[in-house]
Amino acid sequence: MSGIRTKNRRHEPRKRPIQARSRATVEVVLEAAAQVFERAGYHETTTDDIAARAGVSIGTLYQYYPNKDALLVGLFERHLAEIEQSFAGLVDQLDAGVPPRVATEATVAHLYGLHRAAPNLHRIFVEDAPLPARLLADYAALEGRLREAWERYLTTRVAEPALVARMILSVVETLAHRHTLYPPPDFDIDTFERATTDMLLAYVQAG
Partner DNA sequence: GATGAATGAGTATTCATTCAT
Partner DNA sequence: GATGAATGAATACTCATTCAT
Q: Which residues bind DNA (CB under 7 A)?
A: 9, 15, 17-19, 21-22, 24-25, 45-48, 56-60, 62-63, 66-69
The Cα 202–Cα 152 span in angstroms is 18
Residue 175 binds which entry of DNA, its own copies, none, CB below 5-8 Å type-dependent:
its own copies
Torsion on CA atoms 39, 117, 191, 149, rounded to nearest 10: 130
- Taking phi over 0 as left and psi of -120 to 50 as alpha, with beta for the rest, 19 belongs to beta
User: Using CB under 8 A, which of 4, 12, 106, 137 touches its own copies?
Assistant: 4
Residue 141 binds which entry of its own copies, DNA, none, CB below 5-8 Å type-dependent:
none
Contacts 24+ apart (CB under 8 A), 169-172: 169/107, 169/143, 171/196, 171/199, 171/200, 172/107, 172/108, 172/111, 172/112, 172/196, 172/200
| Cβ 43 vs Cβ 91: under 8 Å | no
Within 108-167, the residues that bind its own copies by CB under 8 A are 120, 123, 127-128, 160, 162-164, 166-167
Nearest residue (CB) to its own copies, 20 versus 206: 206
Interface segment toward its own copies; rule CB under 8 A; list 37-45, 84-92, 94-102, 108-116 = 37-45
Q: What would you report as the CA-atom Rg of the chain, rounded to the nearest whole angstrom?
A: 19
| Cβ 155 vs Cβ 162: under 8 Å | no
Count of CB atoms situated within 10 Å of the CB of 5: 7
Interface segment toward its own copies; rule CB under 8 A; list 52-60, 88-96, 99-107, 184-192 = 184-192
For the CB of residue 59, give the shortest distance to DNA in the complex, in Å: 2
The DSSP letter of residue 179 is H
Residue 25 binds which entry of its own copies, DNA, none, CB below 5-8 Å type-dependent:
DNA
For the CB of residue 9, give the shortest distance to its own copies in the complex, in Å: 14
Catalog residues that contact its own copies under the rule CB under 8 A: 1, 3-5, 39-41, 43-44, 120, 123, 127-128, 160, 162-164, 166-167, 170-171, 174-175, 177-179, 181-182, 184, 186-187, 191-192, 195-196, 198-203, 205-206
